[in-house]
């Protein structure tokens, strides 16, 4: 069975779906691995390293004729046209419902396993792409905040004077938010965090941050450990209760998102106007409307004297480790997806395992 690793072509995407280290492991499972020439260049993985690991370097047309295609981003219309009928695609589908891309895959009888649908159960943790990439996003968000903030993060006392620690608030205590808390604490900031799910308080405090508690009359815990959308009344209470504390912050890291819904507005324009000039907002929800309505996707802008960072692909800013984590996630998935035979690995029925059954799309 041939695995294909194409070069990602979406603007700003620097990751690759596997690394030379994982190529060796895939060969150990009996796969043949075809890598498009240059596929790993932006992530600092060289063609020579893939070849030395045992992969075959091929052209773009050939890589899409593989039995099993691994990608970092959803395939484009042209990529779907190039894919071999009756093959298997594993990667993100980046859709909450039926669309033209899913229909095109189904028309070619291509089976689809969407990595964002991996269930959050204990035996799937090593395959959890969303968590591994969100972890990187949370770290990088704080690094971006530090780069744009014109002051120190920690308290500094020198012969030239002293500086107070930055007051940083993280909104949302999922994987990205918790990593942001941990990173900001390491850099010496004074950190607080807020999440609509009461059960996150212990996690926030375990990292040395202060948990912001608000009485909004609703529990925001949804299915699968995710947050759910609040009622309009609860959202209004939330914004009003948050306004005073957010306005006093020097840095806001906003990570709150709801699957298949617009991001909740937590940082209003009124709050931005009250923040100290030079303050920074890093909005990880920019691709879904933003936790701040002033955020502009993939732009860094200054509004009301506040710097708003709206990058939509933080993992791509750390492509080497992001690719390594992603590649290992997929390798762990492939281990449960096939069974060995003398002729090579044989694909199991996709509804045979609860993990792959939950990942199936368009069937």
Q: Report the alpha-carbon distance of residue 323 to residue 328 in Å, rounded.
A: 8
Task: Give 4 or 344, the one with higher predicted confidence.
Answer: 4
At 261 the pLDDT is 86
Instruction: Judge residue 285's burial from the number of C-beta atoms within 10 Å of its C-beta, 0-12 exposed, 13-18 middle, 19 or more buried.
Output: buried
Q: Residue 329 pLDDT more than 70?
A: yes
Could you write out the three-class secondary structure of 116-137? HHCCCCHHHHHHCHHHHHHHHH
DSSP code for 84: P
From 128, 140, 194, 203, active-site residue: 128
Q: Is 128 a catalytic residue?
A: yes
Q: Is 131 a catalytic residue?
A: yes
Mean pLDDT along residues 324-339 = 97
Task: Give 223 or 15, the one with higher predicted confidence.
Answer: 15
The pLDDT tens digits of the residues spanning 147-195 come to 999 999 999 888 888 899 999 999 999 999 999 999 999 999 999 999 9
DSSP assignment string, 204-231: HHHTTPEEP----SS--B-GGG-B-PPP
Q: Is 341 a catalytic residue?
A: no
Q: Report the alpha-carbon distance of residue 26 to residue 314 in Å, rounded.
A: 27
Q: Is 67 a catalytic residue?
A: no
What domains appear along the chain, each with residue ranges and CATH number? 2-117+319-361 (3.40.50.720), 131-316 (3.40.50.720)
From 81, 125, 162, 299, active-site residue: 125
At 340 the pLDDT is 86
Q: Is 276 a catalytic residue?
A: no
Q: Residue 336 pLDDT more than 80?
A: yes
From 60, 106, 120, 151, active-site residue: 120
Instruction: Judge residue 217's burial from the number of C-beta atoms within 10 Å of its C-beta, 0-12 exposed, 13-18 middle, 19 or more buried.
Output: exposed
Residue 142 pLDDT grade (very low, low, confident, very high; cuts 50, 70, 90)? very high
Mean pLDDT along residues 29-53 = 98
Q: Global pTM?
A: 0.93
Residue 38 pLDDT grade (very low, low, confident, very high; cuts 50, 70, 90)? very high
At 236 the pLDDT is 79
Q: Report the alpha-carbon distance of residue 74 to residue 89 in Å, rounded.
A: 10
Q: Report the alpha-carbon distance of residue 17 to residue 34 in Å, rounded.
A: 12
Would you tell me how many other CB atoms lie within 10 Å of the CB of residue 343?
8
């Amino acid at each position: 069975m041939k695995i294909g690793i194409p070069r990602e072509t979406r603007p700003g995407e620097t990751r690759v779906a596997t690394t030379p280290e994982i190529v060796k492991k895939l060969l150990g499972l009996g796969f043949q691995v075809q890598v498009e020439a240059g596929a790993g260049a932006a992530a600092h993985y060289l063609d020579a390293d893939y070849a030395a690991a045992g992969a075959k370097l091929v052209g773009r047309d050939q890589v899409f004729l593989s039995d099993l295609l691994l990608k970092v981003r959803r395939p484009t219309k042209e990529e779907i046209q190039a894919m071999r009928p009756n093959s298997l695609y594993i990667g993100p589908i980046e859709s909450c419902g039926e669309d033209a891309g899913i229909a095109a895959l189904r028309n070619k009888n291509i089976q689809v396993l969407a990595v964002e649908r991996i269930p959050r159960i204990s035996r799937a943790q090593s395959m959890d792409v969303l968590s591994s990439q969100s972890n990187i996003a949370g770290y990088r968000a704080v690094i971006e905040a530090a780069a744009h903030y014109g002051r120190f993060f920690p308290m500094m006392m020198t012969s030239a004077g002293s500086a107070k620690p930055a007051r940083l608030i993280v909104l949302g205590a999922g994987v990205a938010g918790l990593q942001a808390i941990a990173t900001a604490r390491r850099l010496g900031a004074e950190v607080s965090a807020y999440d609509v799910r009461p059960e996150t308080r212990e996690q926030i405090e375990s990292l040395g941050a202060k948990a912001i508690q608000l009485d909004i009359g609703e529990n925001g815990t949804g299915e699968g450990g995710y947050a759910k959308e609040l009622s309009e009344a609860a959202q209004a209470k939330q914004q009003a209760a948050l306004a005073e504390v957010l306005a006093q912050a020097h840095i806001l890291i906003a990570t709150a998102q709801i699957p298949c819904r617009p991001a909740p507005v937590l940082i209003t324009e009124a709050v931005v106007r009250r923040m100290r000039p030079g303050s920074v907002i890093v909005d990880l929800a920019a691709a879904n409307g933003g936790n701040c309505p002033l955020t502009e996707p993939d732009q860094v802008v200054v509004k009301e004297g506040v710097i708003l960072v709206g990058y939509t692909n933080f993992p791509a800013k750390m492509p080497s480790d992001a690719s390594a984590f992603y590649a290992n996630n997929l390798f762990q998935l492939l281990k449960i997806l096939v069974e060995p035979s003398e002729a090579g690995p044989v694909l199991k029925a996709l509804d045979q395992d609860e993990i792959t059954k939950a990942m199936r799309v368009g069937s």
